[in-house]
């Protein structure tokens, strides 16, 4: 009887969780990725709070989301301006701004972190949030390269911790990599898989391994592109043209490095080089370090491998 009762209560609690769909999402980090993740959740009908350290950053994110939503609305409702406008207004009405992460997570069902690619900073953030977020809240990191398990170490909710790795630009790229750690509960996994589909993504699942699927293949390719340039074998422009026309990529490696950000790229390769010094694929490249030291972070600062018109 006792066993049946325990099984029944576990079933009830888990089904209660499953029925509790994710409605309130908090995105921590209002940069390139955080603004895109906040956008796709808001445009999919969820209440979203985007949080960053600085009010100016969240306001910039709000403007970026507005601009991007106009492109999406135009595509969705090309010949119905009234519907396009309603879609834009409704989506933006579901977006709140905050610079106070502890307060923002108070009513959250899901927290997606998209802050700087530094393990300690991510751990400190989640450690703090773990003490104030509701018990049922799922924590997710959008990290490109860090071990989900090591980020989750900082919390007491490893059963409610996953990796949700989106791709840039989030409103366009269809893929969402879902990473579970051994402690991730089935209920958590099922709820984030459903949530990923609810925000229009096609999900794949990967173990908690460096770079998951895409970046494990992409980072070595992009680093080797920089080495090819450093050896003087070809120019950046020709390497980009070659990969677009020869391999059908939408962007060449240097255009993509400038697009994703040279700072984030540097943090990724530095982290892997430190952790796996014996792997030649993860060797850092001097040109990337130099550009970052010179403050040339790519499109977001107006110059990286290429120069960009200031918007
Ligand atoms: C060493 C470290 C390396 C890894 C670093 C970490 C990175 C990660 O962790 C994981 C990643 O994200 S890897 C990067 C993945 N993303 C890519 O590979 C992007 C490749 N580029 C593209 O798809 C197109 O150039 C792109 C879509 C960007 C632009 O397309 P086009 O060149 O054709 O230009 P557009 O005509 O402006 O855009 C095409 C259609 O997309 C719509 N669109 C573009 N940007 C948008 C945005 N931000 N928001 C909303 N809609 C957007 C645009 O409206 C257009 O739509 P159509 O009107 O239907 O053509
Ligand atoms: N850039 C890309 O193409 C992709 C990046 N990612 C990952 O997403 C994360 C964010 O990357 P990006 O958006 O490119 O970086 P970003 O530099 O554009 O944005 C990071 C934001 O986090 C904020 N931030 C830093 N520490 C914070 C804290 N303690 N609390 C609140 N906000 C804080 C910064 O002010 C900044 O606005 C990284 O983990 C990165 O690896 C994942 C997929 C693609």
User: Residue 132: phi, psi to the nearest 5?
Assistant: -120, -20
Residue keyed to tokens 């908090």:
26
Q: How far is the CA of 146 from the centre of ligand 1 (A)?
A: 23
On whether the CB atoms of residues 307 and 251 are closer than 8 A, the answer is no
- Of the residues 35, 98, 185, 215, only one is catalytic, namely 215
On whether the CB atoms of residues 240 and 306 are closer than 8 A, the answer is no
Q: What are the E-state strand segments in 137-255?
A: 138-141, 161-165, 175-180, 202-206
Judge whether 68 is annotated as a binding position.
yes
Asked if 141 and 30 sit in the same domain, the reply is: yes
21 among known catalytic residues: no
Query: Hey, whose CA ends up nearest to atom 1 of ligand 2?
Result: 260
Number of domains in the chain: 2
Residue where a domain terminates, one of 158, 180, 207: 207
| Whole-number percent of the chain with pLDDT over 70 | 93
Asked if 30 and 174 sit in the same domain, the reply is: yes
* ipTM score of complex: 0.97
Residue where a domain terminates, one of 207, 239, 267: 207
Asked if 94 and 190 sit in the same domain, the reply is: yes
Q: Is residue 227 part of a domain?
A: yes
**Exposure on the CB side of residue 50, measured as CA atoms within 13 A:** 32
Query: Hey, whose CA ends up nearest to atom 41 of ligand 1?
Result: 172
Say if ligand 1 is within 6 A of residue 237 CB: no
Asked if 194 and 234 sit in the same domain, the reply is: no
| Packing angle of the helix pair 186-198, 2-19 (nearest 10 deg) | 20
On whether the CB atoms of residues 52 and 34 are closer than 8 A, the answer is yes
Q: Is residue 268 part of a domain?
A: yes
Residue where a domain terminates, one of 163, 180, 207: 207
Judge whether 113 is annotated as a binding position.
no
Say if ligand 1 is within 6 A of residue 222 CB: yes
pLDDT band with cut points at 50, 70 and 90 for residue 79: confident
Which residues constitute the domain of residue 287?
A: 216-301
The pLDDT of residue 116 is 97
Say if ligand 1 is within 6 A of residue 264 CB: yes
Ligand nearest to the CA of 260: 2
Residues listed for the chain = 311
Asked if 57 and 162 sit in the same domain, the reply is: yes
Q: How far is the CA of 260 from the centre of ligand 1 (A)?
A: 10
Indicate the range of 75-79, 177-181, 293-297 predicted with least confidence: 75-79
Asked if 138 and 286 sit in the same domain, the reply is: no
Rounded-to-integer distance, Cα 176 and Cα 170, Å: 9
- Find, among 95, 144, 149, 152, the residue nearest to 125 by Cα: 152
Q: Is residue 306 part of a domain?
A: no
Q: Is residue 242 part of a domain?
A: yes
**pTM of the entire predicted model:** 0.94
Asked if 172 and 43 sit in the same domain, the reply is: yes
| Backbone angle region of 202, left / alpha / beta, with phi > 0 → left and psi within -120 to 50 → alpha | beta
215 among known catalytic residues: yes
Q: Is residue 308 part of a domain?
A: no
Q: Is residue 288 part of a domain?
A: yes
102 among known catalytic residues: no
Give the CATH number of the domain where residue 149 resides. Answer: 3.40.50.720
pLDDT band with cut points at 50, 70 and 90 for residue 297: very high
Q: What are the E-state strand segments in 86-209?
A: 95-98, 110-113, 138-141, 161-165, 175-180, 202-206
165 among known catalytic residues: yes
Ligand nearest to the CA of 249: 1
Asked if 47 and 119 sit in the same domain, the reply is: yes
Asked if 27 and 114 sit in the same domain, the reply is: yes
What's the Cα-to-Cα distance from 53 to each of 93, 116, 127, rounded to whole Å?
A: 22, 11, 17
Cα torsion 307, 308, 309, 311: sign? negative
Q: How far is the CA of 80 from the centre of ligand 1 (A)?
A: 25
Average pLDDT over residues 233-262: 98
Rounded-to-integer distance, Cα 301 and Cα 276, Å: 30
The pLDDT of residue 2 is 45
Give the CATH number of the domain where residue 224 resides. Answer: 1.10.1040.10
User: Residue 216: phi, psi to the nearest 5?
Assistant: -65, -30
Q: In this predicted model, what pLDDT tens digit does every residue of 131-143 receive, in sequence order?
A: 999 999 999 999 9
Q: Is residue 234 part of a domain?
A: yes
Judge whether 8 is annotated as a binding position.
no
Query: Is 60 exceeded by the pLDDT of residue 1?
Result: no
Q: How far is the CA of 156 from the centre of ligand 1 (A)?
A: 36
Judge whether 32 is annotated as a binding position.
yes
On whether the CB atoms of residues 109 and 29 are closer than 8 A, the answer is no
Asked if 29 and 148 sit in the same domain, the reply is: yes
Asked if 188 and 230 sit in the same domain, the reply is: no
pLDDT band with cut points at 50, 70 and 90 for residue 182: very high
Q: Is residue 311 part of a domain?
A: no
Asked if 112 and 34 sit in the same domain, the reply is: yes
On whether the CB atoms of residues 280 and 288 are closer than 8 A, the answer is no
> Ligand 1, from 40, 144, 172, 283: best to mutate by most atoms within 8 Å of Cβ?
172
Rounded-to-integer distance, Cα 11 and Cα 181, Å: 22
């Amino acid at each position: 009887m006792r066993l049946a009762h325990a099984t029944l209560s576990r079933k009830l609690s888990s089904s209660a969780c499953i029925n509790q769909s994710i409605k309130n999402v908090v995105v921590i980090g209002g940069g390139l990725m955080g603004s895109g993740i906040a956008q796709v959740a808001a445009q999919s009908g969820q209440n979203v709070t985007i949080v960053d350290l600085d009010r100016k950053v969240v306001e910039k994110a709000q403007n970026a989301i507005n601009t991007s939503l106009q492109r999406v609305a135009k595509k969705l409702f090309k010949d119905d301006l009234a519907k396009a406008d309603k879609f834009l207004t409704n989506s933006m009405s579901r977006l709140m701004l905050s610079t106070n992460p502890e307060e923002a997570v108070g009513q959250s069902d899901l927290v997606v972190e998209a802050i700087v690619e530094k393990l300690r900073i991510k751990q400190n953030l989640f450690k703090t949030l773990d003490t104030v977020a509701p018990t049922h809240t799922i924590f997710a990191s959008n990290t490109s390269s860090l071990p989900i398990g090591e980020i989750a170490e900082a919390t007491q909710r490893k059963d409610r911790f996953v990796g949700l790795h989106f791709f840039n630009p989030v409103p366009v790229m269809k893929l969402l990599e879902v990473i579970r750690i051994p402690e991730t509960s089935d209920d958590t996994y099922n709820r984030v898989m459903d949530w990923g589909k609810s925000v229009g993504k096609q999900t794949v699942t990967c173990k908690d391994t460096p770079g998951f699927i895409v970046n494990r293949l992409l980072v070595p390719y992009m680093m080797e592109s920089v080495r090819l340039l450093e050896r003087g074998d070809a120019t950046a422009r020709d390497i980009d043209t070659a990969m677009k026309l020869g391999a059908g990529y939408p962007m060449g490696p240097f255009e993509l490095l400038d697009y994703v950000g040279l700072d984030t790229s540097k943090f990724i390769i530095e982290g892997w080089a430190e952790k796996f010094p014996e792997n030649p694929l993860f060797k850092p490249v001097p040109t990337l370090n130099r550009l970052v030291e010179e403050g040339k972070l790519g499109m977001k600062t107006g110059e990286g491998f290429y120069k960009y018109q200031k918007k």
